[in-house]
Amino acid sequence: MWQKTIQNFTQNPKNDILSGLTVALALVPEAVAFAFVAGVDPLVGLYGAFMMGIVTALFGGRPGMISGATGAMAVVMVHLIQKGNEVGEALATPVENLGLQWLFITLLFVGGIQILAGVFRLGKFVRLIPHPVMMGFVNGLAIVIFLSQLGLFKENVDGVQQYMTGQNLMIMLGLVFLTMAIMFGLPKLTKKVPAALVAIVVVACITIFGGVEASTVGSFIKDGGGEGLQGGLPTFQEQIFTLFYTLAGHWDLILSTAMILAAVGLIESLMTLNLIDEMTETRGSGNRECVAQGGANILNGLFGGMGGCAMIGQSIINVNSGGRGRLSGAVAAIALLCFVLFGAPLIEQIPIAALVGVMFMVVIGTFAWSSFRILHKIPLSDAIVLIAVSAITVWQDLAIAVIAGVIMSALTFAWKSATMIRARKHIKEDGTKVYEIWGPLFFGSTTAFNNKFDVSGDPEAIEIDFIESKVSDHSGVEALRNLANKYMDAGKKVTLTHLSPDCKTLLLKWNPEFETIIQEAIDDPRYYVVTDMLDSEV
């Protein structure tokens, strides 16, 4: 494993280093903005982005994927932090910023839950996400990224945030389009340097040396109430272990928030991992990523970061800039920390317009434009799922959208499978009526299965043949048991043939008398083929 890890670090160091620096620049306003959303100091967001980034880069399951502070998790944190601050103010000895301390404690549980998800190998369930859900996910995400950038077109007017107008708006748009033009045109000339990094440097030089008045990272932080990027190293938060007494009566809030944060973080991370897998035509490890995400969130709780998960926008920037190895993520995280420690004055001069232009190009690259072409060609149910997931992603968040999409797809599949069950009927020479069952027998198809039979009108001997059917769950076994009992209660002989071994076992557990009606001596070679396939699946 370590040899593979080292190989992932050294396969293309130049591209990884340059793309990592590009991502670090794009991480700054995102981390600051999400810290404001959660209601914490910008440095907490920056520390969170650093710790998430470095741990997942070194130990995560997807080289080249970027993790940091995210909006999806920041939104969930808001209520917890507000409630904690209220409790802190009401204590006999008030505790300042208790909500933030509660967040650090919650992150310890978040990390534990995510590590358990990896240990129990739950990451593999991302493979169950249907393609329409994935397309809806990336489309909705592209829209969310686009809408999040619109807030950066605001300026502070007499203490009130208002959308830019007049010359300021023209300058902002001009710089945004210049950034996008460089990112679009430069790769056609050379791909030796990341286009996004060149665009940011060029636009920054124009504003700094050309004396162009434009909104910068520094003004963005100050307008949001922050004091600047300058800070020190993250410090161990030993005080959280003395504040557990403040949680009395509020453990339900802590644990429920931890569950939601863990679920949101894992869903967004695993979906991003799946998308980067498709972009790079390689395969990452979902379970390893779960463990790394959990470890990073525990580290955030212990050292004062706001936690987070994988960031799809920055991950796409990284991959498109040539960053495919772990070194790119490590460089991005370390560069971000260096910005905080040493480069704050310089980074604060970078125009927001340059970063907005980079994210707009990410939006264009993320959106699945092919969905417009295939929308009328795919089944109506898939089209509805695709549109619904996109809409829910914008309306709520990514986790809810993905869960809703998977449920919709599962129900659609269950309904279609329920209507597929058939029974071909014929009479043998000895007068036995044969029902040849075709299609899966499970909870959704039991009603249709029962409707195929005429217990009172059938002859004295009945054979139910399952060579082309599979009893898939307890509901199917129960339906078969009830049907067999009806025939036996009516005094008729019923025989079950070509049952799979697992179905036989379940039936005999319910009623040992079924051994007399299950035909064991089978000379049909098709039965052994089907049985071997079922055994191999198990």
The terminus-to-terminus CA distance of the chain in angstroms comes to 29
Q: What pLDDT score does 363 carry? A: 83
Q: What pLDDT score does 253 carry? A: 92
Most confident of 5-9, 378-382, 497-501, 531-535: 378-382
Most confident of 156-165, 379-388, 513-522: 379-388
Average predicted confidence (pLDDT) for the chain: 85
Residue 52: HSE in the Cβ half-sphere, 13 Å Cα cutoff: 31
Mean pLDDT throughout 328-340? 93
Strands 67-68 and 309-310, by their bridges, are antiparallel
d(CA 530, CA 526): 6
d(CA 276, CA 311): 11
At 11, the pLDDT band (50, 70, 90 cuts) reads low
Q: Give the list of residues 6+ apart from residue 333 with CB closer than 8 angstroms, or none.
A: 24, 49, 50, 51, 52, 53, 54, 57
Q: What pLDDT score does 523 carry? A: 52
Mean pLDDT throughout 422-446? 90
Q: What pLDDT score does 63 carry? A: 92
User: In this model, does residue 225 exceed pLDDT 70?
Assistant: no
Q: What pLDDT score does 124 carry? A: 75
The secondary structure of 429-465, three-state, reads CCCCEEEEEEEEECCCCHHHHHCCCCCCCCCCEEEEE
Q: What pLDDT score does 532 carry? A: 44
Mean pLDDT throughout 448-458? 91
User: In this model, does residue 393 exceed pLDDT 70?
Assistant: yes
Strands 154-157 and 493-497, by their bridges, are unpaired
Q: What pLDDT score does 6 carry? A: 52
Mean pLDDT throughout 306-330? 90
User: In this model, does residue 195 exceed pLDDT 60?
Assistant: yes
Q: What pLDDT score does 534 carry? A: 39
Distances 388 to 95, 255, 269, 367, 394 between C-alpha atoms, Å: 44, 30, 21, 15, 10
User: In this model, does residue 3 exceed pLDDT 60?
Assistant: no
d(CA 355, CA 29): 8
Q: What pLDDT score does 460 carry? A: 92
Strands 433-441 and 461-471, by their bridges, are parallel
CB 285 within 8 A of CB 164: no
Residue 320: HSE in the Cβ half-sphere, 13 Å Cα cutoff: 24
For the entire predicted model, the pTM comes to 0.72
User: In this model, does residue 191 exceed pLDDT 80?
Assistant: no
Q: What pLDDT score does 114 carry? A: 96
pLDDT digits (tens, 9 = 90+) for 32-78: 777 877 778 888 989 999 999 999 999 999 999 999 988 778 878 88
User: In this model, does residue 176 exceed pLDDT 60?
Assistant: yes
d(CA 140, CA 404): 13
Question: 89-98, 143-152, 244-253, 315-324 — which is least confidently predicted?
Answer: 143-152
Class of domain 420-537: alpha beta
pLDDT digits (tens, 9 = 90+) for 258-298: 998 998 889 889 888 988 998 888 888 999 999 999 999 99
Q: What pLDDT score does 294 carry? A: 96
Strands 493-497 and 67-68, by their bridges, are unpaired
pLDDT digits (tens, 9 = 90+) for 105-164: 999 999 999 999 999 998 877 777 788 888 888 888 788 878 878 888 888 777 777 888
Q: Give the list of residues 6+ apart from residue 225 with CB closer than 8 angstroms, or none.
A: 36
Q: What pLDDT score does 330 carry? A: 94
Q: Is 135 left (phi over 0), alpha (psi -120 to 50) or beta?
A: alpha
Mean pLDDT throughout 464-485? 86
So where are the chain's domains? 17-370, 382-417, 420-537
Q: Which two tokens stand for residue 131?
A: 């393609």
Q: What pLDDT score does 298 carry? A: 97
Q: What pLDDT score does 530 carry? A: 41
